[in-house]
Amino acid sequence: MTALTRQAGLPMYGEAEFRPAVQRWWSGLAGHLRARRVSGVPDRLTWPGDRYGQWRAPDLLLGQTCGHPLVRHLAPDVRLVATPHYSAPGCDGPRYAAHVVVREDDRARSLGELRGARLSVNGEDSYSGYHVWRRLLPRGEDVRSFFGETAATGSHRASIRSVAAGEADVCAVDCVTHALLSDWLGGELRGTRILATSPPAPGLPYVTAAAASDEEIRKLRDGLFAALADPALRRVREALRLSGASVLEAEDYRRAFGPGPCAEAGD
């Protein structure tokens, strides 16, 4: 690594079992970025312990974040590159949804029957695990008024495990995470089922440092779209359910994740 090498991180769908495939995707994408004379492209991804620190790093070449942190915390620190598409149930182009997951033997057949239930959330900065409930619960209700108790688990995967183990009754999880777990670690979904799916919202965008020029943004997008069309990367794209990308505007995310009730809502 040279002093000019920048950092790249794609942590959002980065369970340990998926990381070799994510690295292969990055290696292919990195080649296309170098072909377009993007400078400082690293050979390997960085898996940060502090995601906010990486997202805010002035040497960030490419990262992936969530809509809620993007709007509420990161807007001055990053520029949007593009929003990936995923071929997962609940996705529609650059938009995605959250699945409400309960135990397979849970008697609930509607969201209203979950009142007083024990909720697991991955974290309170997550749209799909926490803030999505503003779009799912009856008007005037929130997580604290509707559910009996709430526990933070640190990840969607851990939230699903807590439901399967009977430690919680329900969780909401990113539909892409759910699909990848089904593909790679289906046993972890055993004993659970999807009760409902939220309306779709802008998906998890690729971003770069705020200081990036318009020319660098263009090169990053050109490299990304070339990698998404590269036949040599088809298998790794399929393994990660990557199917394309769109360039969304910052306003698309502000409308969904800005202060106040979610107008249409996305993380």
In this structure, the answer to whether residues 185 and 217 fall within a common structural domain is: no
* Average pLDDT of the chain, as a whole number: 94
- Does residue 4 have a pLDDT over 90? no
In this structure, the answer to whether residues 210 and 82 fall within a common structural domain is: yes
Q: Per residue in 94-147, pLDDT tens?
A: 999 999 999 999 999 999 999 999 999 999 999 999 999 999 999 999 999 999
Distance CA 99, CA 172 (A): 5
Q: Is residue 238 a part of any domain in this protein?
A: yes
Residues 6+ apart with CB under 8 A from 244: 84, 85, 93, 228
Q: How many domains does the chain have?
A: 2
Distance CA 267, CA 202 (A): 8
Domain endpoint, select from 198, 227, 245: 198
pTM: predicted TM-score of the whole model, two decimal places: 0.93
Q: Is residue 1 a part of any domain in this protein?
A: no
The pLDDT value recorded for residue 74 is 96
In this structure, the answer to whether residues 120 and 189 fall within a common structural domain is: yes
Structure tokens belonging to residue 106: 């849970």
In this structure, the answer to whether residues 153 and 211 fall within a common structural domain is: no
Of 169, 226, 171, 179, the C-alpha closest to 203 is 179
The pLDDT value recorded for residue 246 is 98
By residue range, what is the domain housing residue 29? 7-87+202-257
The pLDDT value recorded for residue 122 is 96
The pLDDT value recorded for residue 259 is 72
In this structure, the answer to whether residues 62 and 132 fall within a common structural domain is: no
In this structure, the answer to whether residues 73 and 15 fall within a common structural domain is: yes
The pLDDT value recorded for residue 266 is 31
Distance CA 170, CA 158 (A): 12
The pLDDT value recorded for residue 267 is 35
**Residue 119 CA: distances (Å) to CA of 103, 151, 184, 209, 245:** 12, 6, 25, 35, 33
- Does residue 230 have a pLDDT over 80? yes
Mean local confidence (pLDDT), 192-213: 98
In this structure, the answer to whether residues 69 and 124 fall within a common structural domain is: no
